[in-house]
Structure 1
């Protein structure tokens, strides 16, 4: 995803060499607390793991090095880190600083989160289990949300980009080599 995003936005960023590009992945803090919170606790409790990949990372091995960087960043969000987070103002000042960089155009972030292995298709509020689940709205740009397919045999990627970037992204031949579109076909054949 990252390498195809970069390919889609390179022309737009060609004149801007001093921008900082970051990859963010949401991390569930429940198991990283001491004592760990139960998975049955309701609400969001997360933090982002951040890495700053270079274009050399993509060129070297097709982007696999980025995965290693993201995994390392996730490992750093551990019990010790969460304790530090809970006692200080560090998190808020960090968020303000990053927000300012994004607003000034100094930083471009590309965020990932995963809802894989969440029992979304097991939810039944009285009218049956869902035929298809997704997000009504993705409020952040440059965001990818991964979701298991209902059959459990694949992963959906919900991607939200600026419209001009999306126009290039969804036509990218390397990306399309990995894409199938079963969910929409199944939903359109359903009668509601």
Structure 2
């Protein structure tokens, strides 16, 4: 619908405003970068009608500030080389697209189920692959005929994880908002010293020891949204503590467990299941790494459930906590385990297991992305469109967590009727968001 309303498109390349020194031209990828897939990570922020800036002024501000932030994040303006083992920091630049839609922003933001995640991206493919001839960073500025705009960013997962993406866009907004006084700490580029690259495996390959259930990846799916308010999350945390003795469970621990339980039981006939969650290693490693260490500085934890009796919220929270503690005790994750865990994240474990993949960008300041014209009316990250994937984000109001979940169509009704879900969650009706009706 909105794609057919696109009436203009202009592209240009934004280069760093200062050239990268020759001594920094080679940026070696770490082990985790090597095994990461060549896809873009997407994020989009929507802003209501602007009274103080013309479309051209907005574009100029974003282009100039992007050029400045790229001087610090210079690998993002480079080119992958040598079978994707390093980045040639050649200041090739980031792609910047200016798009104008002949429709109001609400036509995209208020779409049922799919919502705003897909259309404000080139070709509607936020998780598209990163071809060799494409920029590692792609930005799209979308103008709507109501005066609203969207800023969408796609950054290659080959060189960055979610933490890096959030830091980059936050730093970019700071420079755009306060050009002269923005105090941006320099990102640290030490990933290859933390996870030395491997010379014995294909840099973009996967080591598969299990049969892949390709039918699973082609299942018809449905996307659903739910809000878990802070008060409901506190109730759930108290319930878990009283039932299991787990002290101070986090919001995400109890929410991961609840969604996992409801989704797995919605399948009606129980199947052995596995929940996989990425973990930011920066605060866990000894010594901890700076938040602005760029790259894929992560590992994965998993919870396996072998029988329906084990599918309880309390038990799952306990297993999540135990898996986190094991990562902390290890202090450093071995190559073999990283490769194995990442392989399981990408592929189902085979037809004997039902596989669930959850990601979170909670606790990052994404709802405060002020480029100089106020905070966004909505920020969101598209969830990858295969069954049993889930994205967790802080609610814009600050009251709780919003969840987007992709489910097989055949289990949606059962999932929506889950007693725990009904008790703790509220379905999100995008069309009811008055703040973004423009």
The residue aligned with 1:6 is 264
Whether the 8 Å contact between 2:282 and 2:289 is mirrored in structure 1 is yes
Shift in CA distance, 55/35, structure 1 to aligned 2, threshold 3 Å: same
2:405 to 145, 149, 159: 159
Shift of residue 185 of structure 1? 4.9
Quick one: structure 1 residues 106 and 181, their matched pair in 2 at CA, closer, same or farther if it must change by over 3 Å?
A: closer
The CA distance in 1 between the partners of 2:369 and 2:346, in whole Å, is: 39
Give the Cα–Cα distance (whole angstroms) in 2 for the partners of residues 100 and 154 of structure 1.
29
Cα 1:23/1:100, change in 2 over 3 Å: closer
CA shift for structure 1 position 157 = 1.5
- The answer to whether residue 338 in structure 2 is matched with residue 91 in structure 1 is yes
1:55 and 2:308 matched = yes
Distance 1:131 1:171 in 2: 30
Do residues 23 (structure 1) and 281 (structure 2) align? Answer: no
In the alignment, is the contact (CA less than 8 A) between 1:23 and 1:111 conserved in 2?
yes
More helix, by proportion: 1
Larger mean CA deviation between 158-167 and 23-32 belongs to 158-167
Asked if 1:80 corresponds to 2:330, the answer is yes
Q: Which runs of 5+ in 2 are unaligned?
A: 1-258
Max Rg structure: 2
Instruction: Report the Cα offset of residue 22 of structure 1.
Output: 1.0
CA distance in 1, matches of 2:320, 2:376: 32
Helix, strand or coil at the partner of 1:164: helix
* SS of corresponding position for 1:32: coil
What are the residue-to-residue correspondences of 1:40-189 with 2, within 5 Å? 40-53=292-305, 54-58=307-311, 62-78=312-328, 80-82=330-332, 84-85=333-334, 88-96=335-343, 98=344, 102=348, 104-181=350-427, 184-187=430-433
1:43 Cα deviation from its structure 2 partner: 4.6
Q: Deviations over 1:51-101 (max 9, x none)?
A: 21242223xxx421111111101111126342x42xx344224544x3797
Q: 1:94 to 1:151 in 2, by over 3 A?
A: closer
8 Å contact kept, 1:25–1:70: no
CA contact (8 A) 1:33 1:79 kept: no
Alpha-carbon RMSD: 2.8
- Aligned residue pairs: how many? 179
Distance (whole Å) between structure 2 residues aligned to residue 94 and residue 117 of structure 1: 24
What do the CA deviations read for 1:15-52 (whole angstroms, capped 9, x no partner)?
xxxx5411222211111223322113345422111121
Give the corresponding residue for 2:7. none
User: How far apart in 1 are the matches of 2:318 and 2:357?
Assistant: 16
Cα distance in 2 between the residues matched to 1:73 and 1:29 = 13
**Native 8 Å contact 1:132 1:187 kept in 2:** no
- Whole-angstrom distance in 2 between the partners of 1:131 and 1:7: 35
Tell whether the 8 Å contact from 2:390 to 2:406 is kept in structure 1 after alignment. Answer: yes
Give unpaired runs (5+ residues) of structure 1. Answer: 14-18
1:191 aligned onto 2:191 = no
| Rounded Cα–Cα distance in structure 2 between residues aligned with 1:66 and 1:41 | 31
Could you list the per-position Cα deviations for residues 142-171 of structure 1 after superposition, in whole angstroms to 9, with x for gaps in the alignment? 122221112212111111122222343123
Q: TM-score, normalised by structure 2?
A: 0.37
Secondary structure of residue in 1 paired with 2:267: helix
Match of 1:138, SS state, is coil
